[in-house]
Amino acid sequence: MPVVTRSKGFKTVDSETEKPEKKVSAPAKKRKNPPKEPQKDDENAPKEKQSKKSEKKPPPKATDTEQAVSDTATVEDTPQNIYQFTANDIKGNQVSLDKYKGHVCIIVNVASRCGHTKAHYEQLVELFEKHSEPQGLRILAFPCNQFGNQEPQDNDKISEFASKRNVTFDMFEKICVKGKNAHPLYEFLTSRIKGKKGNAIAWNFTKFIIDKEGNVVGRYEAAAKPLSLLGELEKYW
């Protein structure tokens, strides 16, 4: 049977053999999930995990016993009396002041060229001769050149000067009694009792009375002569 053809525009279509083309859509491509980016820590977010690692634990609280030991150490570091000090005598030998335990003492800064020198040396010698026994009075004299340069001599010359005035009480080497180079003993003495012009030593022959327990119980300026202290000294014998 003859094949009938039809003409559509410029294209000839075979009605039997050629069938209209079906558009076949390509299978949809599956979307690949994009690779996951490593999770970054939000700077503003609370870093719980990190904080657990980096957070330092507070130190454990001291027990009552440990605190008591600490408090005791602090108290012990602070001088409580003169017995915790040492000083060099006029010959340069170190002396521990605990040798004066049980004695009432006078501690005085001396000078050989002061207007108060003569009266003070004479009365200190008299006090010591009369009351070193049986009352046990002790006198500690510390030469000092900080007031008018009135103790310019070295320790040997000072010792000779004292011997000529019949001094038998204890003479110590020349020291500073005020300022940044003050002897620690004098820092302690002046912190215990103030003078008329504050803590610092004002002049030669400032006198401190020490009781039998090493406590500072009196302070007297140069104007107070040694014999005038007798009534005060008797309170502690």
In single-letter form, the type of residue at position 69 comes to V
Question: Looking at the domain assignment, is residue 169 inside a domain?
Answer: yes
Query: pLDDT digit string (tens) for 81-127?
Result: 999 999 999 999 999 999 999 999 999 999 999 999 999 999 999 99
Residues present in the chain in total: 237
Of the candidates 185, 166, 169, 167, the one whose C-alpha atom is nearest the C-alpha of residue 177 is 185
pLDDT at 27: 52
Query: pLDDT digit string (tens) for 126-172?
Result: 999 999 999 999 999 999 999 999 999 999 999 999 999 999 999 99
Question: Looking at the domain assignment, is residue 59 inside a domain?
Answer: no
Q: Is 159 helix (H, G, I), strand (E, B) or coil?
A: helix
CATH number at residue 159: 3.40.30.10
Could you write out the DSSP letters of every residue in 200-231? S--STT-EEEE-TTS-EEEEE-TTS-GGGGHH
Question: Looking at the domain assignment, is residue 39 inside a domain?
Answer: no
CB 142 within 8 A of CB 90: no
Residue 181 DSSP symbol? T
Question: Looking at the domain assignment, is residue 77 inside a domain?
Answer: no
Question: Looking at the domain assignment, is residue 152 inside a domain?
Answer: yes
Helix (H) or strand (E) holding 14: strand 11-14
Question: Looking at the domain assignment, is residue 69 inside a domain?
Answer: no
Total domains in the chain come to 1
Question: Looking at the domain assignment, is residue 10 inside a domain?
Answer: no
CB 85 within 8 A of CB 175: no
Which alpha helices (H) appear in the chain, and where do they start and end? 48-54, 64-77, 117-131, 155-164, 184-192, 230-234
Question: Looking at the domain assignment, is residue 221 inside a domain?
Answer: yes
Rounded Cα distance between 188 and 13, Å, is 128
Query: pLDDT digit string (tens) for 17-52?
Result: 444 455 545 555 555 555 555 555 555 544 554 544
Domain that holds residue 111: 86-234
Percent of the chain with pLDDT over 90: 66
